[in-house]
Amino acid sequence: MILVTGGAGFIGSNFVLDWLAQTDEPVLNLDKLTYAGNQENLVTLHGDARHIFVQGDIGDSALVERLLAQHQPRAIVNFAAESHVDRSIHGPEDFIQTNIMGTFRLLEAVRAYWGGLTGDLRQAFRFLHVSTDEVYGSLAKEDPAFCEGNRYEPNSPYSASKAASDHLVRAYHHTYGLPVLTTNCSNNYGPLHFPEKLIPLMIVNALAGKPLPVYGDGMQVRDWLYVKDHCSAIRRVLAAGRVGEVYNVGGWNEMPNIDIVNTLCALLDEMRPKSGGESYRAQIAYVTDRPGHDRRYAIDASKIERELGWKPSETFDTGIRKTVQWYLGNQAWVARVQSGAYREWVQTNYAQRVA
């Protein structure tokens, strides 16, 4: 079996669902169930013996040691993290705890477990660390896209904490020989995305008749990858990646934020037109920028294509259409994740931003 951490979050739950749709190899899913973790994402696996869910912290060494000894996974895919830049600006502590200390404790437990393995299990064991393009910092308009050899220049508490975790993973390979793989991926979008991030927030606010808060001038650029393509890249790296290597994963799809918002408005105008005939664009509101806002991210994903034959299978057009469709069809899911804690966050992040 494999151990997946953070498998109740956005990407982790998509990964677990896809994994079990494609293979019968069981998944042990360790997730703390923070505000971002949602067992409802995995409801279709209820009663499925191939999925074992454990609520717990990657930083709980005793728990992780016990789980490793009991289940003897052949690989670990580490998604567990605090993942939202704006939250890291308002409160960095949890990011340091989970992304740095949590990864460190997980690595220590895994090192001890791997050290006790023998034969084929030891040979084949892998620790795959899921990371982000944000560790490379911000690009100017004409700069080439991020390659695996780029300097780390993280600018937010989130990206700094992920950078620290990447360095620890690297060090555990170089120092102890732990067979690690690291993926650095661009912005994901798709089903089960918590509506604090740009794309789901805009869809959800548009449908609720609320303002669509665009930070600054809306010309910040991100590369966007459909989440199922990220999951297929991780499966590919796990199966065939060279130990100790880093693979950048991206969608070859750079877009300014305002173009994303306009695209979403146009799709909603088509798929769920407003009764008065007005466009959702009328709800766009430019608001105060994010402090330290990275201007541009872009991923050069040619290494993973060249070495492992992986390419995204969705274009942005096909992926974003599926995503809007999913949110239109899952409004009960949206309503349930908009709990009291979610409303508090919206108040914290948006109340002070001047339109």
Residue matched to tokens 């308002």: 90
CB of 309 to ligand TYD, least distance (A): 28
Binding partner selected for residue 263 from ligand NAD, ligand TYD, none, CB under the kind-specific 5 to 8 Å limit: none
Q: CB nearer to ligand NAD: give 37 or 280.
A: 37
Q: Give phi and psi for 280, each to the nearest 5.
A: -60, -20
Interface pattern 272-311 for ligand TYD (x via CB under 6 A): ------------------x---------------------
Q: What is the distance between the alpha carbons of residues 309 and 211, in angstroms, rounded to a whole number? A: 42
Would you count residue 310 as binding ligand NAD (CB under 6 A)? no
Would you count residue 59 as binding ligand NAD (CB under 6 A)? yes
Q: CB nearer to ligand TYD: give 29 or 83.
A: 83
Catalytic status, residue 35: no
- 49: exposed, middle or buried (Cβ count in 10 Å: 0-12, 13-18, 19+): exposed
Would you count residue 102 as binding ligand NAD (CB under 6 A)? yes
Annotated catalytic residue within 113, 136, 158, 280 = 158
Catalytic status, residue 134: yes
CB of 282 to ligand NAD, least distance (A): 28
Q: Give the relative orientation of helices 157-176 and 103-115 as an angle to the nearest 10 degrees.
A: 20
Would you count residue 111 as binding ligand TYD (CB under 6 A)? no
Catalytic status, residue 158: yes
Q: What is the distance between the alpha carbons of residues 239 and 286, in angstroms, rounded to a whole number? A: 44
Beta bridge partners of 214: 286
- Indicate which single residue of 27, 100, 130, 214 sits in contact with ligand NAD (rule: CB under 6 A): 130
* 171 CB-near residues (< 8 Å, 6+ apart): none
Would you count residue 198 as binding ligand TYD (CB under 6 A)? yes
- Site residues (vs ligand NAD, CB under 6 A): 5-6, 8-12, 30-34, 36-37, 57-59, 79-83, 98, 102, 130-132, 162, 185, 187-188, 194
